[in-house]
Amino acid sequence: KGLVLKEKARAAELLQDLAETPDEKVCIFDVFSEPPSINWWHMAMPQGKRNYNICKAMLKLLAIIVVVQVLIVLPFAQYIVLPYSKIGSSAGGMKMQIAGIILGNVNMFLSLQSCI
């Protein structure tokens, strides 16, 4: 667990209180500016737990990317782009506009998912 103090004097007082419980480990860091966004959550997290969370998030993103590629991009390429390519023309018109909107929305949701 983490604790953020606004005054350094309060940290010394807290250390004296915690000195009575030697089985507790306390780390104090000087912070000169507020860390952005969710960095507050990770200040007092053990390194192993932080690394586990990073790996878990990377695997989650990779799984989302694979699912999007297999379920949306691959069928789009196979059934819309490839037939046009085989006859020597480029895909265009309403189908490409709709596909662009769908793929743009998928990219947006993928980006939002990575923030969660």
pLDDT in tens, the chain (116 residues): 566 666 667 777 777 777 777 676 766 666 666 656 666 666 677 889 889 988 998 898 889 888 888 988 888 888 877 887 788 777 778 878 888 888 888 888 777 765 55
- pTM of the predicted protein model: 0.51
Task: Say what the pLDDT of residue 68 is.
Answer: 83
pLDDT of residue 56: 93
What angle, 0 to 180 degrees and rounded to 10, lies between the N-to-C axes of helices 47-68 and 94-115?
170
Residue 10, classed as helix, strand or coil, is helix
**pLDDT (0 to 100) of residue 41:** 66
CA gap 29, 32 in Å, rounded: 10
The residue behind tokens 């949306």 is 72
